[in-house]
Structure 1
Amino acid sequence: MINEAISLTQINFQDNYYPRVYLIYDPGFALHILHANWNNVPNELKSFFNNCDPFKDEVYQNKDYFAKCLSWLIDIKYETFMKIVHETKFILTENFVYKLFHVHERKLTKLALIIEGDTGVGKTFLLKFYSLLLNSKNTHNSLQRNIIPRIMENSSLFLLDIIETIIEKQTNLLSIFLQRIKSKILDLENNNDNDNDELLNQRPRPVLILPVAEQQQNNAPVDNILLKQVKLSLAKYQLKKNILYFIWKTILNVATEYPLISTTTLIQKLHVYVTNELVKYPLIEISSRLKSLLQEICSSTAEMSIEIFKEYLFHSQMKSLFYRLLLHPGITEEQLVEFMSPISQLAREIPQIEIVIFFDEVNTASC
């Protein structure tokens, strides 16, 4: 253990002779061994495992042994670990495994960590990947709905509530609404993300109120089968963002053309929904365009409400939990404070998350 502690504090990856044998514990405090070659494991350690290489155990069959050990160490599911590997197209080499292991050990022991290496060796990507692993308990856990933004899921429930509490109460309006979205709903398999480009390039157009005589001509019966399908799809979060946007746009257009309900009520409900989501989920990062639109509530129109929903759906994303600051020679104390202030605020708002900050090029900075 003493030798292991020394190697942890004095590790050097500049050559290929760094230590590769370490004892690790899984979340249940069961002892495991991280190694790259069983033949290089000391006999004393082998005896702890009945002189049998754990890697040969059937529990590891068809699994990456390194990933399994690291998932234990970081206390996340193996499946979550591999999902992040595939999502980031990360190549889990032996060298990177041991680097990740040492980074996490430094975090656990609260020792200072200085990573040396030439430009392009992967320092930033290593820490960014580590940040994803570190926060995966929250970002990949469906139970953490109070932390991680669920923009599409919650927007689906918002639309479902609008349909059930407002649209369904006006039979004529409901019938017209269903007629207009029918082709989109029935052709879901052919609705793909490429449709987003067309939607994003559309400019808001004023909606005209139809003459009373023309309004009264639309008395088609309600398609209850389609209504049930729409509501079920929204409840199960099965609709893509382009369909969600189309539904809200259609609701406002129909409500404007056939003023059987107050468009002001719909506009206010969307504004309240979006602003509440931003307060509830501090990790949501919105566009400057959406910030501007939300501030114009006093002069808000149906077209503006459609734009708000589009901006929220298509341009909102989760804030990064990894930050990098290049400490060039000219950086000032004020710039450091400006960089750290929003990060500190985010950490205070969501204490469950773990933010990774990389101060790069410290060795070349004059400060």
Structure 2
Amino acid sequence: MPFCENTNIPRRTMLGLSLRAAGICLLSATGAAPAAWAQTASLPITDQQRATAERVAQAGVALSELAPNAPDSHTVKRGDTLWDISKLFLSDPWRWPELWGMNREQINNPHLIYPGQTLMLVKMDGRAQLQMAQQRAGAQGGEADQSGKLSPRVRSSDFDGNAITAIPLNLIEPFLNDAVVFDTDELASAPRIVATPEGRVLLSRGDLAYARGDLSQATDYRVFRNTRPLLDPSTQEVLGFEAPYLGTAELKQGEQSTELPDGKAVIVPATLVIKAVRQEIGVGDRLSPVPQRSFTRYVPHSPSAPISGQIVSIYGDGLNAGQNQIVALNRGRRDGIERGHVLALWQSGRSMVDSTSDKREVIRLPDERHGVLFVFQVYERVSYALIISVRAPVRAGDRFSQP
């Protein structure tokens, strides 16, 4: 699994009192080898996040901002995510600057937290601070001063360097390839599979495929079904073209022209071998070069400005969606949407008849907030989000806003 790494501190060395739990790190890649992550730059902290942390650090957070059943302590274990841990302590799990700022002096790198670390919630005078559980003097690090307070010192750590992630990566990893939107319908003129060996209807891994079109751009290609337009639920504007991802293919031989015995020229299509299959591949499916791998790190955070929009569609053609499913949003890069944005889902208030009135008037109840979205893929006019939590089925047209 990909991991976060602080490039400024050796992997097995850390400040004994540093609290790396305070930030949220989500690593996403397309088929990335874990070793590649070690070469990425440290994740920046925005001025807004730092300002929040500095403000909260003065006295911690109000007890009213804690989760109802916040524990006194929690030892991080393998399989934990920062989202899970944030939910343990805070009422809103994406409010990581508050978690980071609870004890500013103990923070070294707010983007990393490791299995084995223990977090303690200290409450005093109506406020709360999150601190690292400290070893007894002479154990593995801190030494107590005359006041009994442990002071930081560099020590060796048994942590293996595999920082936990913000949310379970297995929930979104398949969609980092699968969920693809093109700003224009470029696949309409992209290379296409025109034939299969022995007239096969469906192709599987290792099968050959014959294609026509410009295949000079690359040797590795993604295979897509024909696109469908994504329409804004309100304006009917075409926001982009969604292409169902089918698999990958490798070019073995380009298109050629040969001459028959009678002297007529004939085209020999390019030959490809199917490398991976996610869905059925067949004649008519389109080819697009595999993009260069990009390594992106981002933290869950609320939009810095008010934003609202609607669900365009449920990925996979479903009518309804629930927790851990993917939805397309009618807002994208041009609207200020960023990877890592956390958004609130709203359910339209139902219409009903006021049975307490002689007039039997029709009334409409207020909209109710009933879920949370996590944006993980952003295009120019549309984006994809994971439904983190929800209390009722999600449908196309449902509204979202900043949390």
- Interval containing the TM-score (normalised by the shorter chain): under 0.3
Please state which structure has a larger fraction of its residues in helix.
1
TM-score (norm 2): 0.26
TM-score (norm 1): 0.28
Please state which structure has a larger fraction of its residues in strand.
2
